Amino acid sequence: MTATRIATSTPEDVIIRGKSLTRDLIGKLSFTEMLCLTILGEVPAPPRIAAIDACLVALVEHGLTPSAIATRLVYGSAPEAMQGAVAAGLLGVGGRFVGTVEGCAVLLARIAASADPAREAAAIVAETKTPLPGFGHDTHKPDDPRTPVLFAVARTHGIAGRHVAALELLGTALDAAKRRHITINATGAVAAVLADAGIPFEIMRGFALIARCAGLVGHVHEEQRDPAMRTIWEAADAAVQYTEE
């Protein structure tokens, strides 16, 4: 018999991670505490919650990203199903954008576990041919302004630890190898802070999905009130022209 440890429901209650939804959770936990409980199986202490809140807040919204545009176009085409518009945008939270959180966290774990973290960071830089996940940003140059703020929140609450240190070592190694400065971006900082807050690397993309889901709902609501869908469509259509071979 396969088992789940997440939840079950009875006529009188819903039991989630061993707690009563009606007695222990509704009105007792914040949404951030609740989402940690359901995903991780426990409610983190306040300093960890503060760090996780900071990471979620940082990832909610970044303007007209490809995800937000996809959500708006799908909502305008199929307004009967808001869930489809939000799902379409979430499908863009993948390997090339926010999914880099995961790739970076794997590297940080290697560095954090090493007897000689600085040497390990240099080895990672040397062996990596493609851009290092968590580094560089098209808009935020020369430095991603979110990174020091995330680190500061993590330090204030005593959360910053081996993974934040590993990310800084990786940045130093990268700058030395490239002989120029490449910024630690927000997904790198989120990877380090979430790792130090005890979030397993393989589910970090899930935290990005929750944060971005909220942002995409915001874009749906603006489409409801003040639609930009046709403008987006026409601008895209005008920018890509048909050419016969």
Q: Which of 60, 106, 109, 118 binds a copy of itself (CB under 8 A)?
A: 60
Provide Rg for the chain, Cα atoms. 21
d(CA 216, CA 214): 5
| 90 Cβ contact partners less than 8 Å away, ≥ 6 residues apart | 67, 209, 212, 213, 216
Each residue 172-201 as x (binds a copy of itself by CB under 8 A) or -, in order, gives ----------------------------x-
Stretch that binds a copy of itself, among 104-112, 123-131, 164-172, 231-239 (CB under 8 A): 231-239
Q: Toward a copy of itself, which CB reaches closer, 10 or 115?
A: 10
Each residue 118-157 as x (binds a copy of itself by CB under 8 A) or -, in order, gives ---------------------xxx---xx--xx-xx--x-
The yes or no reply on residue 209 touching a copy of itself (CB under 8 A) is yes
Q: Which of 5, 129, 179, 180 binds a copy of itself (CB under 8 A)?
A: 5
SS3 19: strand
Element (H, E) at 104: helix 100-113
SS3 53: helix
* Cβ at position 228, least distance to a copy of itself in Å: 5
Phi, psi of 15 (to 5 degrees): -100, 120
